Chain A
Amino acid sequence: MAGQILFFALAVTAIAAGIGTVWSRSPVNSALWLILNLFCIAGLYLTLNAQFIAVIQVLVYAGAIMVLFLFVIMLLNLSEKPSFTRMTFARIFGFFLVMGVLALLTYAVAAGLDVLPENVVPEAAAVSGSPSALARALFTQYALPFELIGVLLLAATIGAVVIAKRKPV
């Protein structure tokens, strides 16, 4: 039951954060909502017992990509000041309170309709989601794509530097 309520809480927060990403006026607010969304999806990977992917999600998405986004937003230094709504304790607490109530309501409706997720952490998945199982597949069966992805990242780095340094069009 606790696992199911956790799933609903993460799912509801992920959807709310996704809507916040699309809806909020200032790009900075969008980026912060997106970070919340990424963390919720990392939590959902944990409920699916995919620990490796969850850690990669937090490291690469929330760590690297979102920092890049925020850097570019600041670098562009848009003329109109981003109307950044201040984060007070009351707002944050209220948001998570609403998300908790929504999660409980969804759980209650799902239980009433008898469509609850039966087993959020399946037994067979524990093996296939572990870092050792993934690493074994990654370095043996998928070794060539793994090397190619390294070349792609190098090409993207060089390309990004070249494009960003180019003279204005």
Chain B
Amino acid sequence: MEMSLNWYLTLSSVLFITGTLGFLFRRNIIVMLMSVELMLNAVNLTLVALSQATADTAGQILVFFVIAVAAAEAAVGLAIVIAIFRGNQTIDISKIKLFRY
């Protein structure tokens, strides 16, 4: 199990790094939110792999809650995107200046 746990952890770290790079380097708000979902998924994979390696259900319960929070986050985040788009007619973060001045 040790070896296979390492494989899962490696995969999830690669996915997490992909999501981080997407969040840092894309300027489209929607793609940034999707990168956040990618990162959340990588963490969920880590949690499930560790929970199964230790035969402990707590990790999977936590994944269940993380998925619920991710649903809430996506709903509120996309509502904010719509609100910003109404005012600025763009979803490019380099053109949005809500906090300038």
Binding site for B on A (CB under 8 A): 7, 11, 14-15, 18-19, 21-22, 27, 30-31, 34, 37-38, 41, 44-45, 48-50, 52-53, 56-57, 60-61, 64-65, 68-69, 72-73, 75-76, 78, 115-120, 122, 124-125, 127-129, 133-134, 137-138, 142, 145, 149, 152-153, 155-157, 159-161, 163-164, 166, 168-169
Contacts and interface: CB of A to CB of B under 8 A. Distances in A.
A53 B46 CA distance: 13
B93 interface: no
A156 B71 CA distance: 9
B69 A133 contact: no
Q: Is the interface of B mostly helix, strand, loop or mixed?
A: helix
A137 B57 CA distance: 8
A145 B66 CA distance: 12
Interface residues of B, number: 63
A149 B65 contact: yes
Contacts of A44: 8, 11, 45
A73 B30 CA distance: 8
A120 B85 CA distance: 46
Interface string B28-50: 10110111011001001100110
